[in-house]
Structure 1
Amino acid sequence: MKKINFIILMIVVITAASCDRLLDVKTPDNQIDQSKVFEDVQTANAALAAHYADLMKSSPIAGGDLETYLSSYTDELRDYTTIASDSRDIFLNLHTDTNSVMLNTWATAYKHIYTANAILEGISGSHGITTSDKNWFRGQALLTRSIMFFYLNQLYGDIPYPESTDYKVNNVIAKTPSITVLTNLEHDLLEVSSLLQNDYKDPERIYPNRSVAKLLLAKVYMAEQNWNKAEILLKEITQNPIYQIESDITKVFTKSAKEVLWQLKPNNNTSLRQATSFYFTNSLPYSYALSESLINTFQDNDLRKQNWIGRVDFGGVSYYRVEKYKNRNNTNTNEYSIVFRLEEAYLLLAETLTEQNKINEALPYVNATRLRAQLAPLNLPISKDLLIQEILLEDNREFFVEMGHRFLDLKRAGKLNTLQTNKPNWKDFHQLWPVPQKEILLNANLKPQNTGY
């Protein structure tokens, strides 16, 4: 146990020290000693556990920061702070390439990519781990790296795509065109699908399986408008008997929910940031509250409005807070941070079927979440354009303030500019974030800057 704890500490310290900028590993001495960390399954498991603990602490898939900022950047959250800050600039869509939030998102994602690459290299060079175990570890690391690259691509467009820990290469790496990033992700995720199994290694689903890889690959295909390939993968997920739409809406965000594909486990029964960050009562919101435009998309009888949203009346005005996760007292035994859940596969499948004019086939998938929320189902006749609009509305009601869904869904549908209705400062170029100025100053090969910045 002391040996494992030492290895975890070593990985976390090395990664933090070496990745404060884009894979800024100043000397080869900073790299993980792969011969020790990956000498057997026990120590390799410790390395992977450290990686997931770090993802839970801070990453694009960790509940908290990025999903808050993307919800504020779009039209789900209103920022009630009054002091100028980089986070308020994001809400106001007045950000520049010096925005610290955007720099931290970039740097944090690349830190995790560096760690994933270190695991991939360590597993490849190991002589003490069986081939089947090597495949599983490689699949885990390649999948987490792919998720980081996917979010970076959706946020920044053309991005560096480092596939090693070689500091000489990574410190001067150029950007890969967005279309090539997606092609690379296809290749990597197809490999992950071949490496991972359908079953979970842990019954709590804290380690991804093949279905997680398929869901991410389907999202890549949909970003490329490759609807048919996405349909095939999403049908495999929705027809998998180990997943079910949770009928009891109060259990959706519990760790044992039947629809969970993958979730991250908090340490020491700590309450999730999703439960604590948005909580306020008997006062004006001191940071964020749900926007009026979002609240207006719900009917009063929608069970999601009744169970996932809290109402606070103050000064004659009603304000609304996010209440998907409930445990706020740090005795959390039943809530893990959900990364992917079955409802996403259902709504993505409805979307990709609709894009192929398979309207009748799409309706049951969009109606599944509506019926659970006690809303009337959508019925024929309905046009393709109207059904796409209804799917986006259902996406918003189902996934508000989760994983940046609103931004990603509108971007995929080519409808980000509809935010101008509720966001007066929104411009067309806001579909991408700027490459952080600090990174360009360190590496001129990251030029040109994204348009508008």
Structure 2
Amino acid sequence: MKTKIKYIIAAGFAASSLLMNFSCEKFIETDFPSNQISSQLVFEDEQTAEAALAGLYSGFWTNSMFSGGIDGMGALLGTYTDDLTCVYTSSSNGALDLFNNQQIPTNTAVTSFWMYAYQQIYIANSIIEGVNNSKSLSSAAKDRIRGEALFVRSLIYLNLYGIFGEIPYADTTDYTVNSHLSRMPKDALLLRIETDLSEAVNLLPASYRNVERIYPNKFAGYMALAKMKMLLKKWNEAEVLCGTIIQSSQYTYQNDITKVFQKNGSHILWQLKPKNNNDATKEASLYNFTGAPTSFTLSNALVNSFPTADLRRQHYVTAVPFGQQTNYRSSKYKNIGVNNPTEYSIIFRLDEVYLMQAEILLEQNRSAEAVPMINRSRQRAGLPLLSASLTVNDARNQMQEEKRREFFAEHGIRFFDLKRWGMLDQLVTLKPNWKSYQSNWPLPQKELLLNTNLNPQNAGY
């Protein structure tokens, strides 16, 4: 019988106060095949090495930027921009302050977001070091496990950069190094992330190691690397990566709008499995309210952005009357409670690759090639197809509208798009407290006190 044990991840990164001393050690629960195994032996056996990696993914589901719950990018960045309206009533709620664009360096949501991210970076580093030092793992197992850990770490860093700007880059578990890290300058940081993602892509296998696609493969790596190339404006390289995914026989565009968020689709590149079988996704639990909303509603601006005939308005948005008011909830994920045999939390889907490719082509003034990419989601949504003769500017406007309607409340896609397009300041028309410096969140004050090398604080805070 497998015994659930608690695998201690030692204190390793000073920027995360949770990892500062033994009284604050983080325990990650994993299913190991025997009772207690010392950390030195974990990476001498493929099964236990897999369990350590499974612990990292479990953390994604429980508390991370990839979580579909209140601590994830979908909720926090959705309410920070214009996807979601936060209706929490506590004046000390970190998400409410983000919604009101009144965050300060002691914001609890920001602090937790940073803390969990660097905790998971530390775990990824411990896995990479363990695999590198292993004398018994096969070369194939080493490559795949290292590739997955590198992919995960790189994706965390890419999103942290998008939210905070310059950040510390840790690639070791050495406390004496990590406790004094400074923020890495932008160009050097982006080069490190790009290099790490490229290595991850080379190491990851093209096939999935689980038919449910709950672990990333080479094509998920291509997608993350394409996002990196877009940020760097390396349009030719990004085009090749997206084209490779689109042309792969492993993926098929899902034309049935009722099946987009079902777990068995061949349009899914990577998804997270709920902690327990048949648990609801965190997205379903967070957004599916009845009566008075208690956390988030869809913003009126988002709801009003859907054309009347748009099937997404019918299938992804639900009106909830309450008294004299009607609120709207996100209903992309529909199964709630403990009766969910069909839905996992999707992180990467082919639909996004098509619209990424449309943007890439438009940046190269190739609107006639970009329009068919935009039309895939429009056709599924029941909207008229766009003409291939659209100008680049008109096609770009349509692409941007499509991305908003298709990916609202999904892992901060709206925030990262607006920031990459230089359009975040347009939020001021809907959010009067918005200031330009808020394109970056503040670094948590607690972390600046623990490591003064992280100073100076982001401008404006």
Cα distance in 2 between the residues matched to 1:227 and 1:167? 39
Counterpart AA for 2:356: L
Cα distance in 2 between the residues matched to 1:20 and 1:159? 10
In the alignment, which of 16, 20, 25 is matched to residue 21 of structure 1?
16
* Seq. identity, %: 43
Alpha-carbon deviations, 1:80-115, whole Å to 9, x = none? Answer: 233312221110001111111111111100000000
Of 62-71 and 312-321, deviating more is 312-321
In the alignment, which of 429, 445, 450 is matched to residue 437 of structure 2?
429
The aligned counterpart of 1:337 is 345
The aligned counterpart of 2:200 is 192
1:407, distance to aligned residue in structure 2 (A): 0.2
In the alignment, which of 272, 276, 279 is matched to residue 270 of structure 1?
279
Whether the 8 Å CA contact 1:24–1:170 is kept in 2: the answer is: no
1:278, distance to aligned residue in structure 2 (A): 1.4
Q: Is residue 80 from structure 1 mapped to residue 87 from structure 2 by the alignment?
A: yes
1:22, distance to aligned residue in structure 2 (A): 5.8
Counterpart AA for 2:333: Y
The aligned counterpart of 2:114 is 106
Alpha-carbon deviations, 1:110-144, whole Å to 9, x = none? Answer: 00000000000000111111001100000010011
Secondary structure of the 2:120 match is helix
Change (3 A) 1:384 1:23: farther
Secondary structure of the 1:88 match is helix
Change (3 A) 1:53 1:169: same
1:30, distance to aligned residue in structure 2 (A): 7.0
Whether the 8 Å CA contact 1:157–1:178 is kept in 2: the answer is: yes
Change (3 A) 1:446 1:33: farther
Change (3 A) 1:338 1:377: same
Gaps of 5+ in 1: none
In the alignment, which of 168, 171, 175 is matched to residue 176 of structure 2?
168
Counterpart AA for 1:50: G
Of 387-396 and 403-412, deviating more is 387-396
TM-score, scaled to structure 2 = 0.93
In the alignment, which of 244, 250, 258 is matched to residue 252 of structure 2?
244
The aligned counterpart of 2:30 is none
The aligned counterpart of 1:379 is 387
Superposed, 1:206-217 pairs within 5 Å as 206-217=214-225
Cα distance in 2 between the residues matched to 1:304 and 1:188? 37
TM-score, scaled to structure 1 = 0.95
Cα distance in 2 between the residues matched to 1:188 and 1:83? 41
Secondary structure of the 1:277 match is helix
Cα distance in 2 between the residues matched to 1:16 and 1:395? 40
Cα distance in 1 between the residues matched to 2:51 and 2:263? 23
Change (3 A) 1:288 1:394: same
Q: Is residue 48 from structure 1 mapped to residue 53 from structure 2 by the alignment?
A: yes
The aligned counterpart of 1:10 is 7
Cα distance in 2 between the residues matched to 1:305 and 1:422? 21
The aligned counterpart of 2:31 is none
Of 230-239 and 264-273, deviating more is 264-273
Cα distance in 2 between the residues matched to 1:361 and 1:412? 22
Superposed, 1:109-124 pairs within 5 Å as 109-124=117-132
Secondary structure of the 1:10 match is strand
Cα distance in 2 between the residues matched to 1:234 and 1:393? 20
1:317, distance to aligned residue in structure 2 (A): 2.9
Cα distance in 2 between the residues matched to 1:94 and 1:259? 38
Whether the 8 Å CA contact 1:275–1:328 is kept in 2: the answer is: yes
1:49, distance to aligned residue in structure 2 (A): 1.1
Q: Is residue 36 from structure 1 mapped to residue 31 from structure 2 by the alignment?
A: no
The aligned counterpart of 1:350 is 358
Q: Is residue 62 from structure 1 mapped to residue 71 from structure 2 by the alignment?
A: no
Cα distance in 2 between the residues matched to 1:410 and 1:110? 25
Alpha-carbon deviations, 1:235-254, whole Å to 9, x = none? Answer: 00111111111111111111
1:270, distance to aligned residue in structure 2 (A): 1.4
Alpha-carbon deviations, 1:349-397, whole Å to 9, x = none? Answer: 0001001101101011111001001111111432222222221111111
Secondary structure of the 1:305 match is helix
Whether the 8 Å CA contact 2:14–2:450 is kept in 1: the answer is: no
Counterpart AA for 2:64: S
Q: Is residue 411 from structure 1 mapped to residue 406 from structure 2 by the alignment?
A: no
Cα distance in 1 between the residues matched to 2:265 and 2:15? 36
Counterpart AA for 2:62: K
Whether the 8 Å CA contact 2:128–2:149 is kept in 1: the answer is: yes
Alpha-carbon deviations, 1:41-67, whole Å to 9, x = none? Answer: 111111111111111111111212221
Counterpart AA for 1:71: G
Q: Is residue 280 from structure 1 mapped to residue 277 from structure 2 by the alignment?
A: no
How many correspondences in the alignment? 446
Cα distance in 2 between the residues matched to 1:432 and 1:20? 18
Secondary structure of the 1:140 match is helix
Secondary structure of the 1:35 match is coil
Secondary structure of the 1:71 match is helix
Whether the 8 Å CA contact 2:367–2:392 is kept in 1: the answer is: yes
Cα distance in 1 between the residues matched to 2:416 and 2:90? 28
Change (3 A) 1:428 1:20: closer
The aligned counterpart of 1:154 is 162
Cα distance in 1 between the residues matched to 2:210 and 2:2? 23
1:330, distance to aligned residue in structure 2 (A): 1.2
The aligned counterpart of 1:361 is 369
Cα distance in 2 between the residues matched to 1:103 and 1:267? 24
In the alignment, which of 313, 317, 325 is matched to residue 321 of structure 2?
313
1:413, distance to aligned residue in structure 2 (A): 1.0
Cα distance in 2 between the residues matched to 1:63 and 1:94? 23
Cα distance in 1 between the residues matched to 2:391 and 2:144? 44
Of 153-162 and 313-322, deviating more is 313-322
1:26, distance to aligned residue in structure 2 (A): 4.2
Whether the 8 Å CA contact 1:18–1:25 is kept in 2: the answer is: yes
| Superposed CA RMSD | 1.9
Alpha-carbon deviations, 1:257-286, whole Å to 9, x = none? Answer: 1210001111222111100111222x3322
The aligned counterpart of 2:32 is none
Change (3 A) 1:57 1:19: farther
Change (3 A) 1:118 1:23: farther
